[in-house]
């Protein structure tokens, strides 16, 4: 199964992009993975939050195939330990879906349409982080999960 991590909009901070790139490169040794950026909605500042979320949802849905498994990174999702996430990944990678798609939303989260389409939701913390920071945190946790599954030294239980 191919893993896709999809982001809405670009990461503006160079230090976050640098961190993401480190873990993105490391992950290519473990699984077929791509990172996709869904472009920011044009003239987003002139739209109400609801309208912006709907436009973002349309752009995301246009990139999904019917048999893709969509996981939203959402504050209301299930919270797992790093070991629990590794076990979750192991189960997910055994599913018959063509692609496992993790979606990091924009500043306002997700439109109801994406919640309806989602197969699951995961939360990285009860705390609130910027959507740009979550990209780095999640990429690192994916890498950590892969090292846990291979019993490598990176993770210290």
Residue-by-residue pLDDT tens, the chain, 157 positions: 899 999 988 888 999 999 999 999 999 999 999 999 998 776 666 667 788 889 889 999 999 999 999 999 998 999 999 999 999 999 999 998 899 999 998 878 899 999 999 999 999 998 888 888 999 999 999 999 999 999 998 877 6
Name residue, tokens 């798609």. Answer: 101
Q: Look at residue 79 and give its three-state secondary structure.
A: strand
pLDDT at 44: 60
pLDDT at 111: 92
Domains and their CATH numbers in the chain: 2-149 (3.40.1280.10)
Name residue, tokens 């990091």. Answer: 104
> For the chain, where are the E strands, in sequence order?
2-8, 33-38, 69-79, 99-104, 120-123
In contact, 9 and 59? CB cutoff 8 Å: no
- Strand pairing partners for 8? 38
Q: What phi, psi does 104 have (nearest 5°)?
A: -100, 120
In contact, 43 and 141? CB cutoff 8 Å: no
Gap between the Cα atoms of 63 and 18, Å rounded: 26
């Amino acid at each position: 199964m191919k893993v896709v991590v999809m982001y809405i909009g670009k990461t503006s901070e160079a230090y976050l992009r640098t961190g993401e790139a480190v873990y993105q490169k490391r992950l290519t040794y473990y699984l077929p993975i791509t990172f996709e950026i869904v472009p920011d909605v044009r003239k987003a500042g002139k739209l109400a939050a609801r309208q912006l979320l709907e436009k973002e949802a349309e752009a995301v849905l246009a990139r999904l195939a019917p048999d893709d498994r969509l996981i939203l990174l959402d504050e209301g999702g299930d919270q797992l330990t790093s070991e629990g996430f590794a076990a979750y990944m192991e189960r997910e990678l055994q599913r018959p879906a063509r692609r496992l798609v993790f979606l990091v939303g924009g500043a306002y989260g997700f439109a109801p349409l994406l919640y309806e389409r989602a197969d699951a939701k995961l939360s990285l913390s009860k705390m609130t982080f910027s959507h740009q920071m979550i990209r780095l945190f999640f990429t690192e946790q994916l890498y950590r999960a892969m090292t846990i599954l291979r019993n490598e030294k990176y993770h210290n239980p």
